Structure 1
Amino acid sequence: MYAVIKTGGKQYRVAAGEKLKIEQIPADVGTEITLDQVLMVGEGESVKIGSPMLAGAKVTAKVIAQGRHPKVTIFKMRRRKHYQKHQGHRQNFTEIEISGIAA
C-alpha cells in the first residue's frame, strides 16, 4: 500500500517503513505525527484519488531526527567589473519514518 502526501509545499510518494527527509516541522524526536493532507492512496490495482484531498485518509509517521542539509554555495560574479559575491545556505529538515497508512 502506498500514498501520495503533501507537506512543506512538496508531494511525496510514501509506503510503510520508508524513511524520508521533509521540510522542517516543529516536533520532538521520537514523537508520532499525523500527516492528513493525503492526495492519493493506492493498493495494487485499486487507486483512490482525492479532489484535491482524500477525506478521512491519514499517514502516521515517527520523527527520527531533526537536522540540516549540506551547505549549498552561491557564487555570483560579473566579469571585468570587479564584482564577486559569496553566499551559503543550509536548509533544515525533519527525517521521518512512515509507520502506517489509513485510507
Structure 2
Amino acid sequence: MQVVVRSGGKQYRVEEGAVVTVDRLAGDPGTTVTLEDVILLSDGDRLEAAPKARVTAEIVAHTKGEKIRVLHYKNKTRQRKQSGQRQLGTQLKITKIEA
C-alpha cells in the first residue's frame, strides 16, 4: 500500500517500512509522529483520495543536508558577499498506514 502524504509543504510517496527524509519536525529520535494530511491512497490497482487515512512514523534521526553556497557580487564596486546554508531535516521510518 502506497500513500502520498504532505509534510512541510512538500508531498512524499511512502509505504510501510520506508525511511524518508522530510523537513525538520519537532521531537526526539525514537518518538512517534502521526501524519494526518494524506492526499492519495494506492492499494494495487485501486486509487482513491483518502482524507481520513493516517500515517504513523517513528523519528529515526535529525540530519543536515549538503552545504549550499551563495555568492553576491556588485559590479562596479567589486563588493562580494558569501553566505551558506544547510537545510535541516528529519528521517522518518513509516511504521503503520491506517486507511
TM-score normalised by the chain length of structure 1: 0.89
Write the distance in 1 (CA, Å) between the matches of 2:70 and 2:82.
6
Give the number of aligned pairs.
99
1:81 is matched with which residue? 77
Would you identify which runs of 4 or more consecutive aligned residues in structure 1 move more than 3 Å?
78-81
Cα deviations by residue, 1:16-62 (Å, 9 ceiling, x for unpaired): 11111101110110111110000011111111115xxx1x2000111
Q: Which runs of 5+ in 2 are unaligned?
A: none
Where is the strand percentage greater, Structure 1 or Structure 2? 2
1:40-90 superposed Cα distances (whole Å, 9 cap, x missing partner): 11111111115xxx1x20001110001211211011223443121100111
Percent identity for Structure 1 against Structure 2: 31
Tell me, in whole angstroms, the C-alpha distance in 2 between the residues paired with 1:80 and 1:19: 49
TM-score normalized by the length of structure 2: 0.92
* 2:63 equivalent among 67, 82, 92: 67
In structure 2, the residue matched to 1:45 is 45
- Is 1:33 matched with 2:29? no
Paired letter, 1:2: Q
The gaps in structure 1 that reach 5 residues or longer are none
